Amino acid sequence: MYKGRSVLSVAFAGLMLALVSCSRHYRIDGVVQTSGYEGRQLLLVEFLPFRTTTIDSCVVSRGRFEMKGVVDSVRLVFICNEGHPVVPVYIEKGHTKVEILPTKMTASGTRQNDLFYSFLRKKIEIDNRYDDMLQKRISLSRSVYDAAQMDLIQDSLSIIVDECEQMICSFMADNYNEPAAVGVFTMLSPPRAKEITPLIKRILDAAPESFLAQSYVSGYIRRVGYSRD
């Protein structure tokens, strides 16, 4: 009787382990419509402050590629081509679709990728409006100078900057507990910065302790000497 229970316990434990393992599988399906990728090996690389880890690799064939494996935690990595980071991707449980197109690069289908790229789309749209307005200012400065028109353009630029910062702070406030928020913070904070910018200080001032304790964030805080006191 005892032996039978032991066998059943082992079998049950094995089944549970298999189920847990399956639940942590990630899969990345990619489509490439940009020249220079066919037949190339792509690497899935995690860049950390003191080490770089290659997690997976594949070859682009007929404009497609696939990577899959088991993930122990949600991690921000990069799809790299010839050693150069191309697309940031969160590897997490589920099926991620990646597009590398001439006009855009996106990852979607899982929670963190959807959050991260929804932020990027909004920021790119605002950045494009800023660039368009900046070009108008440059063109005006090269023609007959119009002080009133220049002031209007400068006011518009300031409004766009304020809109962008508010969008960033709103995203962070809604997602401080999500890994995607750390990815956004990483993108906004220069890795070798010695001084904190007003925007980053605003983000950190409003952040919960759990966010400040994240590895990259805590490293940045130590480097720039930030304190909320």
pLDDT digits (tens, 9 = 90+) for 13-29: 443 443 444 458 999 99
- Measured distance CA(31)–CA(61) in Å, rounded: 10
In the block, which residue shows the tokens 């099926």?
A: 95
The confidence score (pLDDT) of residue 23 equals: 55
In the block, which residue shows the tokens 């599988």?
A: 25
pLDDT digits (tens, 9 = 90+) for 62-107: 999 999 999 889 999 999 998 899 999 999 999 999 999 999 999 9
Mean pLDDT of 99-128: 96
The confidence score (pLDDT) of residue 99 equals: 97
Mean pLDDT of 41-70: 93
Integer-rounded Cα radius of gyration of the chain: 23
Ordered by start, the domain boundaries in the chain are 26-109, 113-224
Q: Can you say how many angstroms the Cα of residue 48 is from the centroid of all Cα atoms in its chain?
A: 14
Cβ–Cβ under 8 Å, residues 171 and 126: no
Coil, strand, or helix at residue 75? Answer: strand
The side-by-side arrangement of strands in the sheet containing 25-32 is: 64-70, 25-32, 94-100, 105-108
The confidence score (pLDDT) of residue 24 equals: 83
Kindly write down the DSSP assignment for every residue of 189-220, as one continuous string: S-TT--S--HHHHHHHHH--HHHHTSHHHHHH
Question: Nearest-5° angle of CA 215, CA 185, CA 100?
Answer: 110
Beta bridge partners of 14: none
CA distances from 181 to 90, 120, 175 (A): 12, 12, 6
Alpha carbon dihedral 155, 157, 158, 163, in 10-degree steps, equals 130
Which helix (DSSP H) or strand (DSSP E) does residue 70 occupy? Answer: strand 64-70
- Measured distance CA(125)–CA(39) in Å, rounded: 33
pLDDT digits (tens, 9 = 90+) for 60-69: 999 999 999 9
CATH architecture classification, 26-109: Sandwich (2.60)
